[in-house]
Amino acid sequence: APNTAELKICRVNRNSGSCLGGDEIFLLCDKVQ
């Protein structure tokens, strides 16, 4: 579900505080889906 992925990305982004980190996670999620 895209909602779950978005939530995870948001959480990682908040923890990392970096746009690059979020982008990496997004790419990984996109590949998995």
- What is the reported pLDDT for 20? 53
10 contacts 17 by C-beta, under 8 angstroms: no
- What is the reported pLDDT for 9? 58
Could you give the CA distance from residue 21 to residue 13 in angstroms, rounded to a whole number? Answer: 6
Q: Tell me, rounded to whole angstroms, the distance of Cα 28 from its chain centroid.
A: 8
**Digit-coded pLDDT (tens) for 19-33:** 555 566 666 666 665
Which range marks the domain in which residue 26 is found?
A: 1-32
- What is the reported pLDDT for 7? 59
pTM over cut 0.75: no
**Digit-coded pLDDT (tens) for 6-15:** 656 555 555 5
- What is the reported pLDDT for 32? 62
Q: How many domains does the chain have?
A: 1
- What is the reported pLDDT for 6? 63
